[in-house]
Structure 1
Amino acid sequence: MPIAGNRDGASSRGGWFHDWSGPLVLALVVTIAGPVAAEDFPLRDKYASVGVPPVETEELADSLDAMTVVDARSPYEYETLHIRDAVSIPLDSGDFKESVLALAEESGQPLVFYCNGVTCAVSYKAALKAKKAGVADARVYDAGVLAWARENPEQTVLLGEPLQSDDQLIADEEFKRRLLAEDAFYARIQSSDDPMIVDIRSRDQRQGVSLFQMRDRHVPLTGDNRELDGLVETAKSEDRPMFFVDATGKQVRWLQYYLEERGISEYWFLEGGASQIYESMSTQ
Structure 2
Amino acid sequence: MPIKGSSKGIVGRVGSLRGLSTALMLGVALLLVGPVAAEDFPLRDKYASVGVPPVETGELAGSLDAMTVVDARSPYEYETLHIRDAVSIPLASRDFNESVRTLAEESGQPLVFYCNGVTCAVSYKAALKAKKVGVKDARVYDAGVFTWAQTHPEHTVLLGEPLQSTDQLIADEAFKDRLLDEDGFYARIQSSTDPVIVDIRSQDQRQGVSLFQMKDRHVPLTNDNRELGGLVQAAMNEQRPMFFVDATGKQVRWLQYYLDEQGVEEYWFLEGGASKIYEGMGLQ
* TM-score between the two structures when normalised by the length of structure 1: 0.93
Asked if structure 1 preserves the Cα contact closer than 8 Å seen for 2:201 and 2:218, the reply is yes
Q: Could you list the runs of 5+ residues in structure 1 that have no partner in the other structure?
A: none
Alignment of 1:21-36 (within 5 A): 26-35=23-32, 36=36
Alignment of 1:52-63 (within 5 A): 52-63=52-63
Q: Distance in 1 between matches of 2:57 and 2:239?
A: 44
Asked if structure 2 preserves the Cα contact closer than 8 Å seen for 1:153 and 1:164, the reply is yes
Deviations 1:24-57 (A, max 9, x none): 5535343231443211111111111111111111
Letter in 2 for 1:134: G
Asked if structure 2 preserves the Cα contact closer than 8 Å seen for 1:3 and 1:103, the reply is no
How many residues are matched?
279
Aligned residue in 2 for 1:255: 255
Asked if structure 2 preserves the Cα contact closer than 8 Å seen for 1:195 and 1:241, the reply is yes
Aligned residue in 1 for 2:232: 232
Q: Distance in 2 between matches of 1:267 and 1:29?
A: 20
Shift of 1:3: 7.7
Letter in 2 for 1:33: L
SS state at 2:76 partner: helix
Letter in 2 for 1:31: V
Distance 1:283 1:132, change over 3 A: closer
Distance 1:254 1:3, change over 3 A: closer
Shift of 1:171: 1.4
Aligned residue in 1 for 2:14: 13
Identity of aligned residues (%): 77
Letter in 2 for 1:267: Y
Asked if structure 1 preserves the Cα contact closer than 8 Å seen for 2:235 and 2:242, the reply is yes
* TM-score between the two structures when normalised by the length of structure 2: 0.93
Aligned residue in 2 for 1:197: 197
Letter in 2 for 1:147: T
RMSD over equivalenced CA pairs, Å: 2.0
Letter in 1 for 2:41: F
SS state at 1:130 partner: helix
Shift of 1:145: 0.5
Letter in 1 for 2:16: G
Aligned residue in 2 for 1:277: 277
Q: Could you list the runs of 5+ residues in structure 2 that have no partner in the other structure?
A: none
Shift of 1:11: 6.9
